[in-house]
Structure 1
Amino acid sequence: MTTTEPAAGTGQFDLGRLLAERAAERYELHSKYLNHQLPRMLHTIGFDKVYERAEGAYFWDADGNDYLDMLAGFGVMGLGRHHPVVRKALHDVLDAGLADLTRFDCQPLPGLLAEKLLAHSPHLDRVFFGNSGTEAVETALKFARRATGKPRVLYCDHAFHGLTTGSLSVNGEDGFRDGFAPLLPDTAVPLGDLDALARELKKGDVAALIVEPIQGKGVHETPPGYLRSAQELLHRHKALLIADEVQTGLGRTGDFYAYQHEDGVEPDLVCVAKALSGGYVPVGATLGKDWIFKKVYSSMDRVLVHSASFGSNAQAMAAGLAVLSVMENEQIVANARATGELLRSRLAELVDRYELLADVRGRGLMIGIEFGRPRSLKLRSRWAMLQAARKGLFAQMVVVPLLQRHRILTQVSGDHLEVIKLIPPLIVGEKEVDRFVDAFTEVMDDAHSGGGLMWDFGRTLVKQAVGNR
């Protein structure tokens, strides 16, 4: 009896073949099996593109057209896509065949990454590694409660700290919280309001204040001196300062951490994630003071009292180490500071030129462009039409032609906000600044002309907004 040898590759998983056969079904698959509202939304605003590949700060579609990425995967792609150093580190760690996640040993990579991270915040001592920004926040909330013995955490109006139950409890946007009650009994205070903070602290049950040095929703910076004064108030009442640097950290604002723009600020806990991943393997980290960690892990019985199944995995740690190496060797923070200042200043020059443009603000490569009520009667009536249907529609009207006509990907900075947020990869330079400013100027010219495709699309958005009520 003779047997026939199977053809090479038969019975094996072939990812390339699978993608070649099924990639064209991407929107149908998502509609059927995942969040059905996402493809519907993308189709409505004309964002249902098919991107074939990506590198650095650019995507390309099947026709070879390039798209400038001013979104960076919501800040994840700090070094752009497919940075060769991070790619090589991941190949190397896979090829090493490490005995990863045995759970009962101490691998070298987590310690090495913690050492590197802590070098950028020398007042902190220890790190817990999880898998995301929301996990980093959950860790900080738990550690603050355990360390202080107090139950309540303060957060700021309009804050965004994540969407799991604990982090959602300190999320200042009702749109994310609606329908998920009851949440934890935490309390919002106005950003920058020290009197409101003091009133809550006097109640004696506050474990911590968690704050974004620059809020992602709307791109609002804490007022000068606020973080330092808040820190003093908190410590006076034996409460902690938690800095959420998930989006602002790792160079985004022109310093390694955004809290470092203010002298004398030394948070007790710092949350990072997003850009630490290099865009590949999810990783989050909570940095903290030694005494806090020793309160949490107070005995050998409590060694696993807070842990994560995939936390500290070798691929995530290798990606993080590679990212920090690139940041140092390629002067990523300095580039973010210089390029960000160039972009912000050039956009700020347009405020007096366009009556629909109200403000340009931010630090480094985290910039908010806010639109506001125009002066002229013709534009004012159109603005009022949009606002009556749904606040935030004008900003969406700007985002769409930036993509459709100029192949630039941006985002509205939050629900019902007339603000566009720019958080491009930190590797962008003058060429990308020129491309964005030229495109934005053309879109603003069209909006102020009172006609054209932009206002036609505005009417489509109004119908959509009214229909969803």
Structure 2
Amino acid sequence: MTSSDGRAQGTAAGETGEPATVSEAGAGTADPQAPAVPQPAGEHGHKEFDLATLLAERGGERYELYTKHLNHQLPRMLHTIGFDKFYERAEGAHFWDADGNDYLDMLAGFGVMGLGRHHPVVRKALHDVLDAGLPDLTRFDCQPLPGLLAEKLLAHSPHLDRVFFGNSGTEAVETALKFARYATGRPRVLYCTHSFHGLTTGSLSVNGEAGFQDGFAPLLPDTAIPLGDLDALAAELRKGDVAALIVEPIQGHGVHICPPGWLAAAQELLHRHKALLICDEVQTGLGRTGDFYAYQHEEGVEPDLVTVSKALSGGYVPVSATLGKDWIFKKVYSSMDRVLVHSASFGSNAQAMAAGLATLSVMEDEGIVANSRRVGDLLRTRLAALVDRYELLKDVRGRGLMVGIEFGRPKSLGLRGRWTMLQAARKGLFAQMVVVPLLQKHRILTQVSGDHLEVIKLIPPLVVDEADVDRFVAAFTDVMDEAHNGGGLMWDFGKTLVKQAIAAR
């Protein structure tokens, strides 16, 4: 059962008129000699599941459970860098721990929490759709919610006509790859070096980072070209077997923006060779860069296929969308025999569709895209002003609330020696040294933008405000001051990272 505000309600002893039986060994241990206590029945006679009590009793085991049953390296890594926190609640762009300490989220769950956590409008929509008791996922009917969400999404990209709904960003990419190959009758998809499009086998084939591909070959016969290189694109297209180019308008790995004019020129070149342009907007879409889609920053760009996920459900429900042109969908679904040639068991489910509709409504009503552009410009401008002040700070770049902070080799002798030591052990350690005190000292959650990269990526919820910018810039300034002073806990932690990096070789 839930209360009017949606929180889980437990059943305490005495609520049903029956006393709880507790042994002398401790609370919650059943007495084998005592008669069984009837379990409270739910609204339709079902035994109730008490989530609140389960979390209260076993929530403290979170890291042990992960170590035993899930990815055992994750808690190990979190413990090593001091990220093994116990967050108890969250709202908007902030977390709180059990002691009531406030943490600023500049990560947004890798971009999923575009509206921040627990937005009341999306939350209510999910309660409403559950209460509606819809005949969901019959598979042999046409429910209204998918059509309504598709209509609303397509309104933001009027050159596109149809939508396929899946469950994740990598699934949206898989859909785009399949559709492009089938529609063109060609096998090969081009992608850019340092790209990230997902980790399933198809999307992994267009992943520009070899570290993710190691040990999973053979993959699909796809080919990488440098971001912004038209000559390399033209050379591949002349071979006549290219179905499409898939590209992130702003690469998440390192936060690199497509050079001005390149997307439009690439599109023209692709279409001349009967190939398609796929824009991967899984992370950059839905307002992240200050426009609804990142490709819209460049005039005349109209991708043939667009992938969307992450922020589409307000962070509540897995959902993705692949948007495309009418002729592509009609070629894939060319007859009734092919009606299920590409489908997803949980695709278009009512909860995901309702959350998506509510999210887009909030974005319109609360000016989320405009806030992303305004606050993002403020954040980037204030950080860029620090580049001349700190020799370890090389560059600040990005669009909207997708900002990359890059560090580089300093000029002064003392700092250069420490930098060289870190680089010799493992590239990317300095950026990690910045991320750790931001959390430990200033309670701000950030991330390094990729393995072996000296770049921090900021992708906060799109609801952050000027006070959040002030807090981050002040904290970042304090960390950089400590780094340039050459001592203190930051460099001590750096020595620890160096030892671990050497030991891992």
**Range of TM-score over shorter length:** over 0.9
What are the superposed Cα offsets for residues 33-65 of structure 1, whole Å, 9 maximum, x if unpaired?
000000000000000000000000000000000
Aligned pair in 2 of structure 1 residues 100, 7: CA closer, same or farther (>3 Å)? closer
Matching residue within 10, 27, 38 for 1:6: 38
Is 1:213 the equivalent of 2:249?
yes
1:63-102 matched pairs, under 5 angstroms: 63-102=99-138
Matched residue of 1:154: which SS? Answer: strand
CA separation in 2, counterparts of 1:440 and 1:326?
A: 31
Counterpart check, 1:374 vs 2:406? no
Distance 1:81 1:139 in 2: 28
Runs of 4+ in 1 over 4 A off after TM superposition: none
Q: Which residue of 1 aligns with 2:270?
A: 234
Residue equivalent to 1:459 = 495
Structure 1 residues 395-410: aligned runs within 5 Å: 395-410=431-446
In the alignment, structure 1 residue 299 sits paired with structure 2 residue 331: no
Q: Which residue of 2 aligns with 1:56?
A: 92
Separation in 1, partners of 2:114, 2:277: 26
Q: SS at the partner of 2:404? A: strand
1:384 counterpart = 2:420: yes
Question: Given the alignment of the two structures, is residue 46 of structure 1 paired with residue 78 of structure 2, yes or no?
Answer: no
Q: Which runs of 5+ in 1 are unaligned?
A: none
Return closer, same or farther for 1:4/1:358 CA change in 2, 3 Å cut-off.
closer
Separation in structure 1 between the aligned mates of residue 103 and residue 307 of structure 2, nearest angstrom: 31
Q: Tell me the equivalent position of 2:429.
A: 393
Q: Is 2:235 aligned against 1:199?
A: yes
Rounded to whole Å, the distance in 1 between the matches of 2:56 and 2:462 is: 32
- Whole-angstrom distance in 2 between the partners of 1:136 and 1:294: 18
> Does 2:448 correspond to 1:412?
yes
Q: Read off the aligned partner of 2:358 and give its amino acid letter.
A: A
Match of 2:306 among 259, 265, 270: 270
Which position in structure 1 is the counterpart of 2:22?
none
Query: 1:6: how far off?
Result: 1.7
1:333 to 2:369 alignment: yes
Task: Name the structure 1 match of 2:13.
Answer: none
Name the structure 2 match of 1:154: 190
SS at match of 1:120: coil
Gaps in structure 2 of 5+ consecutive residues: 1-34
The answer for the alignment partner of 2:462 in structure 1 is: 426
Say which SS state the counterpart of residue 244 (structure 2) adopts.
Answer: strand
CA distance in 2, matches of 1:24, 1:88: 29
Deviation at 1:179, TM superposition (A): 0.5
Q: In the TM superposition, what is the alpha-carbon distance from 1:14 to its structure 2 partner?
A: 1.1
Larger radius of gyration: 2
For residues 209 and 345 of structure 2, the distance between their equivalents in structure 1, rounded to whole angstroms, comes to 30
Equivalence for 1:359:
395
Question: What's the counterpart of residue 170 of structure 2?
Answer: 134
C-alpha distance in structure 1 between counterparts of 2:79 and 2:152, whole Å:
43
1:12 deviates by: 3.2
Superposition pairs for residues 307-346 of structure 1, below 5 Å?
A: 307-346=343-382
What's the secondary structure of 2:301's corresponding residue? Answer: coil
* Alpha carbons of structure 1 residues 377 and 113: separation in structure 2 relative to 1, 3 Å: same
Select 1:175's aligned residue among 207, 211, 216: 211
Match of 1:442 in 2: 478
Tell me the equivalent position of 1:107. Answer: 143
**CA deviation after TM superposition for structure 1 residue 8, in Å:** 2.7
Residue aligned with 1:427, SS: coil
Q: Which residue of 1 aligns with 2:55?
A: 19
TM-score by length of 2: 0.92
Shift of residue 303, structure 1, vs aligned partner? 0.1
Specify the alignment match of 2:21 in structure 1: none
Query: Does the residue aligned with 2:322 lie in a helix, a strand or coil?
Result: strand
The alpha carbon displacement at 1:13 in A equals: 1.8
Q: What CA distance in whole angstroms lies between the structure 1 residues aligned with 2:328 and 2:397?
A: 35
Q: Secondary structure at the match of 2:323?
A: strand
In the alignment, the residues of structure 1 paired with residue 355 and residue 181 of structure 2 have an alpha-carbon distance, to the nearest angstrom, of: 31
Structure 2 CA distance for partners of 1:44 and 1:108, relative to 1, 3 Å: same
**Cα separation, partners in 2 of 1:7 and 1:190, compared to 1, 3 Å:** closer
Structure 2: distance between partners of 1:4 and 1:154: 65
1:166 alignment partner in structure 2: 202
* Deviation, structure 1 residue 5: 7.4
Change (3 A) 1:5 1:40: closer
| d(CA) in 2 for partners of 1:434, 1:4 | 58
Greater relative CO, 1 or 2 (CA 8 Å, sep 6+): 1
- Measured in 2, the distance between the counterparts of 1:77 and 1:12 equals 30
Question: How many Å separate the matches in 1 of 2:129 and 2:455?
Answer: 41
Cα separation, 1, equivalents of 2:461 and 2:348:
25
Could you list the per-position Cα deviations for residues 69-107 of structure 1 after superposition, in whole angstroms to 9, with x for gaps in the alignment?
000000000000000000000000000000000000000
Once the two structures are superposed, what CA deviation does each residue of 1:450-469 show, in whole Å capped at 9, x if it has no partner?
A: 10100000000001111111
What SS is found at the alignment partner of 1:317? helix
**Cα distance in structure 1, aligned partners of 2:131 and 2:458:** 37
Q: Which amino acid is the alignment partner of residue 402 of structure 1? A: L
SS class of match (2:199)? coil
Q: Distance in 1 between matches of 2:179 and 2:48?
A: 45
Opposite residue 112 of structure 1, the aligned amino acid is L
* CA distance, structure 2, for counterparts of residue 4 and residue 142 of structure 1: 56
Helix, strand or coil for the counterpart of 1:397? helix
Task: Report the aligned-residue RMSD.
Answer: 1.0
